[in-house]
Structures are given as C-alpha cells and as structure tokens.
Amino acid sequence: MWTFNPVIDSLRELQQANNLNEIQKKSGVSRSSLGSPSASVTIVDPEPLTQIAATLVTQIPNGDPSRFDQIGHQLTAVDGSVFKTAVRVASLSWLPSKSSSSWRGVNSYRIHTHFEILWGVPKRIDATPARPKGKGDEKSVLVGVLKPDRRYVTDRGHAKFELFNQISAIGSSYLCRPRDNSTPKFLSPRPLSDADRSAGIESNTEVVLGTNTLNRKTQTTDHRVRYIVVKTPPHARTDTEGNNSDGYLRLVTDVTKLTDVTAELIAEAYRLRWLIELFFRMIKQLLGCRHLLSTKHGGVGIQMYLAIIDCLLILIHTGSQPTKRTCVMICF
C-alpha cells in the first residue's frame, strides 16, 4: 500500500487507511490501533522477506555474462547509501541551521548493499546507523558477511589491506579502487595487449600493497596484487564533497584469483560497479525510499526488502528495468 500509493508517506497514514472497509476487505486485516504499526516493526521478523527476495531473484532471466567468463562466479558490487527517517526529515523543518549539524546521522541509517552486477538485482542488505564508525563501518560490515567464490567490486571506502587479506583467505577475490596516495611496492610489469591500450590502460603491474615496517607489520597484503592504471578525463570537484581526479583511475585486484584476466576486462568490470549507484537512485526516487517510515532497525529492514521485492516483481512481470512511468502507471 505504501510503495504504490502516492498519498501514504507515514506509518500513521497506513493505520488510518486501514480503517476503510474496502482496505480491510482486500488486505484481510481488521482495524488496527494507533500503536500497532509502530509496535509491528519490533515484533515482525524481516528475515522471511529476505527469503522471498532471494526466491524472486532466481526467476529473473540472467543476462549474457559470457564476456566475463574469465572472471568466473558472480560479480558483486558492494556499497552503502544513507537513508533518512521520516522523523529526521520532519525535524529539519524547525531545527535552526546552526544546530542541524549536531543531528547529522541521527534518525538516519546506512544501507549496506550487495548488488549482483550481471543480474542487475540486489542480493543482500544490512542496515546500520548512518555514522560509519565501529560496527557501522562499511569495511567491518563486509567482513561479517564475506562469502567464498565471490568477486567483490568496491570503491575506495573499502580500501583496507586487512580486508583484502580476509577476502583472499576466504576464497574470494576483490576489485577495488585504492586511495590515490597509496604507495605499492612494484614487483614486475605485465604486458599490455592492443585491446588494453585501446581501453586506456596505462600500466598493469604486480605489486605488494602497504608498508611492512617494524611498527606496522600488519599494514600490508599477504599476496601479490595486480595494480592497473587507466587513463580517464581529469576533473576538479565543484562542491565540498567528492575528490579531485588527476586523470588516472587506479585499480587493485587479487592476482592469485585473476591471473589470466585481461586488464581491459577488469577495468570494464569496475565500470559496471556504477550500476549499484543507479540502484540506490531507483530505490530512493522511483520506489519512494528517499526517507524511511520507521526509526527502528527492524522497520528499516522491512521497508527496504519490500522495496526490493517490488522492484523484482516489476522486473519479472514487465521484463524491463523499472522507470518512473512504470511506477506511476502501477499507482494509477
């Protein structure tokens, strides 16, 4: 009711709508009390929704991943995005600007998502407080849910040598954009093909990342790494967020898992990581999750998995990616 009804944008309105006889008849739910929607998010377990989503994923025809057969297994993009709750959005209407900074991260959640690139669908979400500290740090969240036989494609927020070692040890590999100020130890160059050069590959080298001094022995990779540099258009940031680009995209990947994969194919796999950013845009703008209805952890999980289920149902029944027009017609 909430996702495909543009009038409803809070738990209170859901409860109010449930007073209508027609709604009770169609949903099979009798009249609910004012407190029942808020109480439900602490009683209802969102886990069954994850199983429904996982089942629906298997009903979506897979694309043609033959080009990425060399990489093997599923390419999984990992990233997070902040979602504000309705309480947070309402509070901004009366909070003075000088106090708003103290509310940053309050009543907000960071949704950590595992997105299957070749399928174009999310596989897993985890909700933590918006501030990326402690258990909410995106690297810590990923460590807790690592699976073997995966190809984790991440941005520089996951650039941590200990995490790279853990991914390699569990039987998976990684493809990550390291920080521009990283200082790898170069071991041996790898040859570039004509396809690599046409794709803008500047260099393809085996390295060891990190430092190995007496005081920082753990800050290094325990395996060889491929360090790939791709020529890109340089740009300077135009606001307070983001980073400047010097015109070179640096990528690192586990050389022991992706030995024979061309540098051009690795760069293309990283380019497809942008699909997870488009997914966040779709969840927020098309499926109405720009803000969260509940401030409870369980309520966040319920809302996000319901949105994912809605997205999967649209894919299954229309055979195409959801658009704003598709969602509007469903609402009508």
User: Looking at the structure, do residues 38 and 121 belong to the same domain, yes or no?
Assistant: no
State residue 93's pLDDT score.
Answer: 38
In a domain, 163, yes or no: no
Quote the pTM value: 0.73
User: Looking at the structure, do residues 265 and 296 belong to the same domain, yes or no?
Assistant: no
In a domain, 318, yes or no: yes
User: Looking at the structure, do residues 68 and 108 belong to the same domain, yes or no?
Assistant: yes
Closest among 186, 202, 253, 200 to 226, alpha carbons compared:
253
User: Looking at the structure, do residues 31 and 79 belong to the same domain, yes or no?
Assistant: no
Q: Please, which pLDDT band fits residue 94 given cuts at 50, 70 and 90? A: very low
How many domains are there within the chain?
3
State residue 154's pLDDT score.
Answer: 92
CA dist 101 and 293 (Å) reads 22
- Decide which of 223, 244, 272 is a domain's last residue: 272
Rounded mean pLDDT, 62-88: 71
The position carrying tokens 């690139």 is 117
- Domain holding 120, by residue range, is 46-155+288-332
In a domain, 281, yes or no: no
In a domain, 279, yes or no: no
Beta partners for residue 253, in sequence order? 175, 226
pLDDT tens-digit series, residues 296-330:
778 888 888 888 888 888 888 887 777 778 888 88
Q: Give first-to-last CA distance, the chain, whole Å.
A: 12
The fraction of the chain above a pLDDT of 70, given in percent, is 82
User: Looking at the structure, do residues 69 and 100 belong to the same domain, yes or no?
Assistant: yes
State residue 78's pLDDT score.
Answer: 92
User: Looking at the structure, do residues 223 and 258 belong to the same domain, yes or no?
Assistant: yes
Q: Please, which pLDDT band fits residue 153 given cuts at 50, 70 and 90? A: very high
Mean pLDDT across the chain: 78
Taking a C-beta distance cutoff of 8 angstroms, is the pair 89, 291 a contact? yes
Distances from the Cα of 332 to the Cα of 7, 39, 253, 327, 328, angstroms: 12, 30, 47, 9, 6
User: Looking at the structure, do residues 236 and 181 belong to the same domain, yes or no?
Assistant: yes
- Decide which of 238, 272, 306 is a domain's last residue: 272
In a domain, 280, yes or no: no
User: Looking at the structure, do residues 145 and 186 belong to the same domain, yes or no?
Assistant: no
In a domain, 282, yes or no: no
In a domain, 277, yes or no: no
In a domain, 198, yes or no: yes
User: Looking at the structure, do residues 11 and 69 belong to the same domain, yes or no?
Assistant: no
User: Looking at the structure, do residues 52 and 112 belong to the same domain, yes or no?
Assistant: yes
Rounded mean pLDDT, 4-32: 85
**DSSP label at 127?**
E
CA dist 107 and 89 (Å) reads 9
Taking a C-beta distance cutoff of 8 angstroms, is the pair 312, 56 a contact? yes
State residue 237's pLDDT score.
Answer: 66
- Decide which of 272, 298, 323 is a domain's last residue: 272
pLDDT tens-digit series, residues 187-241:
888 888 898 898 899 999 888 887 654 455 546 788 888 899 999 887 776 665 5
User: Looking at the structure, do residues 307 and 244 belong to the same domain, yes or no?
Assistant: no
User: Looking at the structure, do residues 26 and 59 belong to the same domain, yes or no?
Assistant: no
180 pLDDT exceeds 60?
Answer: yes
